[in-house]
């Protein structure tokens, strides 16, 4: 836990709060006799804390942006993909407590579980050190690392754009293939390619299969536009 605290840049007064943020429901269900509770309530609180901190950050940074733009940027900043990346940077998956079935099913690398655990950790810091401690952590691991051009890029759905472009002609078939997955579990890199009528038109990488397919679609769009 001390290593995780170092990665968070925060030392807990009560380390049990951090431990509680790492109990997945599958683990809690298998250890009911020990009085262990899942991190779901913390996830609920962490989602609210993250939303408040992010909204405050954007409100102050962009005094001229309308509500719709602020909402759009906030949604991109706090999406599952962003939180999954935070979890990977912290190697949070190594510290999760999972039930046997979830462990065997690859839950330690599942984006949704890691994203939820990230919100739970935010809540644990909030309960242990208050809003300013949580704000400092969220800025350190998420907000201060984001460039808004990256956020807007992330919100583009290249797979949909490519599908719409291809559908302008009849009898066109798109297919995505996973080419490879490499690296340690907490920083795995996936490579995917997209094929049009069986012919590869783009390849891309990402920290999840979804992200790799989006990158491949982006490359495929560029190929078709050039062609």
- CATH number, position 210: 3.30.160.20
Same domain, 100 and 167: no
User: For residue 127, is pLDDT > 70?
Assistant: yes
Q: At which of 155, 172, 199 does a domain end?
A: 155
Q: Are 128 and 186 in contact (CB under 8 A)?
A: no
CA distance 72 to 151: 10
Helices (DSSP H) in 78-173: which residue ranges? 80-90, 100-104, 111-129, 131-141, 148-155, 158-166
Same domain, 43 and 138: yes
**Which residue did the predictor score with more confidence, 225 or 152?**
225
Q: What is the pLDDT of residue 160?
A: 87
Q: What is the pLDDT of residue 138?
A: 97
User: For residue 178, is pLDDT > 90?
Assistant: yes
Query: Which of the residues 19, 30, 47, 146 is marked catalytic?
Result: 47
Q: At which of 155, 189, 211 does a domain end?
A: 155
Same domain, 119 and 31: yes
119 a catalytic residue:
yes
pLDDT bin (cut points 50, 70, 90) of residue 14 is: very high
Same domain, 18 and 92: yes
Same domain, 46 and 148: yes
Same domain, 70 and 177: no
DSSP symbol at 97: B
Provide the CA 126 distance to its chain's centre, in angstroms: 20
Could you tell me the residue range of the domain that residue 25 belongs to? 2-155
DSSP symbol at 143: G
Q: How many structural domains are present in the chain?
A: 2
Same domain, 162 and 124: no
Percent over 70 (pLDDT), the chain = 94
Which string of b and e fits 29-59 if b means at least 16 CB within 10 Å?
Answer: ebeeeeeeebbeebbebbbebbeebbeebbe
47 a catalytic residue:
yes
Same domain, 53 and 16: yes
Q: What is the pLDDT of residue 153?
A: 54
Q: What is the pLDDT of residue 171?
A: 87
CA distance 180 to 211: 13
pLDDT bin (cut points 50, 70, 90) of residue 105 is: confident
- Sequence-ordered list of residues with C-beta below 8 angstroms from that of 60, at least 6 positions apart, any chain: none
**From the annotation, which residues make up the binding site for Mg(2+)?**
43, 116, 119
Q: At which of 113, 131, 155 does a domain end?
A: 155
Same domain, 8 and 107: yes
Same domain, 189 and 211: yes
Same domain, 108 and 163: no
Same domain, 53 and 30: yes
Model pLDDT for residues 35-94, shown as the tens digit of each residue: 899 999 999 999 999 999 999 999 999 999 899 888 888 988 898 888 998 999 999 999
CATH number where 144 lies: 1.10.1520.10
Whole-model pTM? Answer: 0.69
CA distance 196 to 173: 6
Query: Which of the residues 85, 119, 128, 211 is marked catalytic?
Result: 119
């Amino acid at each position: 836990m001390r290593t995780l605290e170092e990665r968070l840049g925060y030392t807990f007064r009560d380390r049990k709060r951090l431990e509680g943020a790492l109990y997945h429901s599958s683990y809690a269900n298998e250890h009911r006799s020990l009085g262990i509770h899942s991190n779901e309530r913390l996830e609920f609180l962490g989602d609210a804390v993250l939303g408040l901190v992010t909204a405050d950050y954007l409100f102050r940074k962009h005094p001229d942006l309308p509500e719709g733009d602020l909402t759009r940027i906030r949604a991109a900043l706090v999406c599952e993909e962003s939180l999954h990346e935070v979890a990977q940077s912290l190697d949070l998956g190594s510290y999760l407590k999972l039930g046997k079935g979830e462990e065997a099913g690859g839950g330690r690398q599942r984006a949704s579980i890691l994203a939820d655990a990230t919100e739970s950790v935010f809540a644990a810091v909030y309960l242990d050190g208050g809003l300013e401690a949580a704000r400092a952590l969220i800025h350190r691991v998420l907000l201060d690392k984001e460039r808004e051009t990256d956020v807007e890029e992330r919100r583009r759905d290249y797979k949909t754009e490519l599908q719409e472009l291809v559908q302008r002609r009849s009898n066109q078939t798109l297919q995505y293939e996973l080419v490879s997955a490499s690296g340690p579990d907490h920083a795995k890199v996936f490579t995917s390619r997209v094929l049009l009528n069986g012919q590869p038109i783009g390849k891309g990488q990402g920290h999840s299969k979804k992200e790799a397919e989006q990158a491949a679609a982006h490359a495929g769009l560029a190929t078709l536009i050039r062609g």
